[in-house]
Structure 1
Amino acid sequence: MAREDKRRAILTGALTVFARDGYTRASIDAIASTAGVSTRTIYNHFADKAELFQAVIQESAGRAADAQIAVIDRHLRKVTDLEADLIEFGCAFAAPTTIEHAEHFALVRQINAELGHIPQAAIDAWQETGPLRVRREIAGRIRRWAERGLLRAEDPDRAALHLLVLISAGNPSLPDVVPTGTEMAESVTSGVRTFLHGHLH
């Protein structure tokens, strides 16, 4: 197996194990077994578990953010009816990531449960590569809508955070019950209307 193929196998196997077991409980032995490589091979690529975890979360968050930004671009590139377009966007925002990025969002749930035990560098890398990048993309759209007079937003970044929180009922990074399509649509609609109530002129 070529060096790059081994690295890919390690990252894939580590994502599976970290998403299942969390950072603290995951072992290099389990990751090696899942990846089909030796522990020595893992240490040839990564200094320790912390460095491997940071590489995994950064890459996984990047892929999930790419998918989410594609949804943002597809639904919010040209806004003609702000409320209707935001509702359509909100319903689509969680849907494409649920299956394709299921392990990533399982990993996010593990991170949220173990924040005090995970190296801060890994948390910062995840936030910058994933959630903050997505939020900045939405903030840019909100800034342009404000410039067009479609809404009022003194702080587009904070407004983007408000929007994301209000439409997050179907977010697969949240645990417990996954809403039905109808429940998610109703929740997103309510969230968008709440957002617009606070940001319309």
Structure 2
Amino acid sequence: MAREDKRRAIMAGALTVFARDGYTRASIDAIAKAAGVSTRTIYNHFTDKSELFQTVIRESAARAAGAEIAVIDRHLRKVTDLESDLIEFGRAVVTPSATGHAEHFALVRQINAEAGHIPPEAIDAWQEAGPRRVRHALAGYLRQWTEHGLLHADDPDRAAIHLMLLISVIDPSYLGRNPTDKEVADTVSTGVRAFLHGYLH
């Protein structure tokens, strides 16, 4: 197996194990088994578990962010009715199948659950490669709409945070089930209306 192929195998195996076990419980032995390589091979590529985790979360976040930004662009590039277009966008962006990368978002849930035990540089790498990129992309549209008089958002970045929070469906892992289509639709619709109530002129 070529060096680059080994690295891809390590990254894929590590993502699977970190998403399943979290950072603290994941072991290099388990990652090696999932990747189909030896532990020595992993250490030939990465100094330790911390460096491997930081690389995995950064690259995984970048891929997931790219998919989310594609959803943002597809739905918001040309807006004809602000409320209905935002609701359509919201339903797409909060539906797991819309962007794929389910393993990445399982990893994000693990990060949220054990953030105090994860190296701060890994948290920063994840935020910079993923959530901040998505927020800036969304804020760009909110800024355009403000300039065109459709919204009144003095701070588009903050407005983007508000919108994403308002349309987010409560983590279904607490309920032991996925939200129904009606729950998603109701959450997104009421969230968009609350957002527009605060940001329309």
Residues paired across the two proteins, number: 200
Structure 2 gaps of 5+ residues are none
Q: Distance in 1 between matches of 2:17 and 2:197?
A: 43
The Cα offsets for residues 73-129 of structure 1, whole Å up to 9 and x where unpaired, read as 000001110001000000000225468311111100110011111011100000000
Aligned to 1:165: 165
Moved more, 99-108 or 145-154: 99-108
Q: Distance in 1 between matches of 2:128 and 2:171?
A: 19
Report how far residue 183 of structure 1 moved: 1.4
Matches within 5 A, 1:50-89: 50-89=50-89
Aligned to 1:101: 101
The Cα offsets for residues 50-70 of structure 1, whole Å up to 9 and x where unpaired, read as 000001001111111011000
Aligned to 2:92: 92
Q: Distance in 2 between matches of 1:144 and 1:72?
A: 14
Calculate percent identity across the aligned residue pairs. 73
Corresponding residue SS for 1:149: coil
Cα-Cα RMSD = 1.5
Q: Distance in 2 between matches of 1:44 and 1:175?
A: 39
* Equivalent residue letter for 2:156: P
* Equivalent residue letter for 2:103: E
TM-score, scaled relative to structure 1: 0.95
Matches within 5 A, 1:1-201: 1-97=1-97, 100-169=100-169, 175-176=174-175, 177-201=177-201
Report how far residue 197 of structure 1 moved: 0.2
Q: Distance in 2 between matches of 1:138 and 1:108?
A: 20
| 8 Å CA contact 1:64, 1:97 repeated in 2 | no
Q: Structure 1 runs of 4+ off > 6 angstroms?
A: none
Q: Distance in 1 between matches of 2:16 and 2:185?
A: 30
TM-score, scaled relative to structure 2: 0.95
Structure 1 gaps of 5+ residues are none
Report how far residue 170 of structure 1 moved: 6.7
